[in-house]
Amino acid sequence: MTITSKQRAYLRGLSNNVTAIFQVGKASLTPEIVKSVDEALEKRELVKLSVLKNCFDDPNQIADMLAERTHSQVVSVIGKKIVLYRPAKKNPKIMLPCP
């Protein structure tokens, strides 16, 4: 599943009101974080993470790895904030605009 730029802009607008519920720290991506993000994506569909200053990995690489491991899409990476999207398998809440 790929999202268009119009859909990405729509999701970016929705993410302005979402608070970061995960923090990636010095240990970078651990299996626990990946599992937690995967579960949160199933419930919320749109998840925001923040990368702490003590994490030396590039936020873009972290976003790509997380998207690959959780089968989600990277909506945006701005500074140290990452937004991911994946529609829920049951009861999707976010309706994307048509491409």
**CATH number of 25's domain:** 3.30.110.60
What does the H/E/C string look like for 45-80? CEEEEEECCCCCCCHHHHHHHHHHHHCCEEEEEECC
For residue 93, pLDDT over 80 is answered with yes
Confidence (pTM): 0.93
Q: Is residue 97 part of a domain?
A: no
Please give the residue that has the higher pLDDT: either 38 or 99. 38
38 within domain boundaries: yes
How far is Cα 1 from Cα 99, in angstroms, rounded to an integer? 13
CB 50 within 8 A of CB 22: yes
Confidence of residue 82 (pLDDT cuts 50, 70, 90): very high
- Domain total in the chain: 1
Domain range for residue 16? 5-85
Does 97 score more than 90 pLDDT?
A: no
Confirm whether 11 is domain-assigned: yes
